[in-house]
Amino acid sequence: MQKKFRPDLSDYEIYVMALVDRLNEDAMFKMSKTDAVKMCIEKAVKSVLPDVVIKRKRKRYITLDL
């Protein structure tokens, strides 16, 4: 069995919560802290490693057009 990767992001929780609050203002589905962090990692990997294909395992971020 593969060991789960559980980074300690306690020092960054305030920033993650601010991000989640902002994302959830106009989101169709509410984002969790975990999904917000995954989304940031995916965006960073896409810009730093453009040849890497990411298989997403999180909720899709869909905005509401009001």
Q: pLDDT tens for residues 38-61?
A: 889 989 999 999 999 888 776 666
Residue 46 to residue 58: CA distance in whole angstroms: 16
Structure pTM?
Answer: 0.74
As a whole number, the mean pLDDT across the chain is: 86
For the chain, which residues make up each domain, given as ranges? 11-66
Exposed / middle / buried, residue 31 (Cβ in 10 Å: 0-12, 13-18, 19+): buried
Taking the CB of residue 16, how many other CB atoms lie within 10 A of it? 17
Short-list 26, 22, 34, CA closest to 58: 34
The SS3 call for residue 33 is helix
